[in-house]
Amino acid sequence: MSAAERKQSAAWRVETARLVLRCWRIDDAPCLRAALDECDQHLRPWIPFMKDEPRSLQQTAEWLEVHRNAFARGEYFRYAVYDAAKERLLGENMLLTRVGPGALEIGYWTHKDAVGRGIASEATCAMVRVAFDIEGVRRVEIRCVPENAASAGIPARLGFRHTETLKDHVEDTAGGVHDLMVWKLYAGDTPGTAVKSLRYRAYDERGRLIPPAGGSG
């Protein structure tokens, strides 16, 4: 699917039982700035963009504008993850286009105060459903370093297969080099998994409900 086709089909907001995932807005900058400052030591070992932190509030707003514009162009999709009441920023999930045709990579980080509540798993489930049901890809991937056991536990719980580990493949924010685990899930392998049982609703840029493939969600 081309960027133009992804743009036309994009889910700008996704709702599950506990969460609202939506495209970042520039006015999210204060919430994001506070969350990243609170979670700096929690995220810094694992999240590549933390090498550029701390940003100023203005730089954070400009960064979000970049993401929102890329979302609008269908280049990649980064979502703020809020609680259902839309009161607390719980993290971020993203669909990235860097793993080749017919596929999307899912990335995520979770606020330290939301860890252990299944937030990342639920949000990632939603991203898998969007990737398969709305974006129409055949494969989704999750990549993480072996040392990040909490992150690796998410694809394992959702039915992904660990297909390979790339040796000395990524550099952390301190310059250390790590292996990279590659987890894959194919569209035909979701029956019987937590992914298939997730109930969700997705909406386009104008707030119109997007019917999932097959009419289920």
pTM score of the predicted model: 0.92
Is the pLDDT confidence value at 217 over 80? no
Residues 100, 80: Cα–Cα separation, whole Å: 24
Confidence of residue 123 (pLDDT cuts 50, 70, 90): very high
Residue 4: pLDDT over 80: no
SS (H, E, C) the chain: CCHHHHHHHCCCEEECCCEEEEECCHHHHHHHHHHHHHCHHHHCCCCHHHHHCCCCHHHHHHHHHHHHHHHHHCCCEEEEEEECCCCCEEEEEEEECCCCCCEEEEEEEECHHHCCCCHHHHHHHHHHHHHHHHCCCCEEEEEECCCCHHHHHHHHHCCCEEEEEEEEEEECCCCCEEEEEEEEEEHHHCCCCHHHHCCCEEECCCCCEECCHHHCC
Q: Is 10 exposed, middle or buried (0-12, 13-18, 19+ CB in 10 A)?
A: buried
For residue 74, what pLDDT is reported?
94
Q: Which residues of 151-190 are buried (b: 16+ CB within 10 A; e: fewer)?
A: bbebbeebbbeeeeeeeeeeebbeeeebeebbbbbebeeb
Average pLDDT of every residue of the chain: 93
* 25 Cβ contact partners less than 8 Å away, ≥ 6 residues apart: 64, 68, 80
Q: What is the set of domains in the chain, with CATH numbers? A: 3-141 (3.40.630.30)
Report how far Cα 2 is from the mean position of its chain's Cα atoms: 20
Q: How confident is the model at residue 3 (pLDDT cuts 50, 70, 90)?
A: low
- In one-letter notation, the amino acid at residue 210 is I
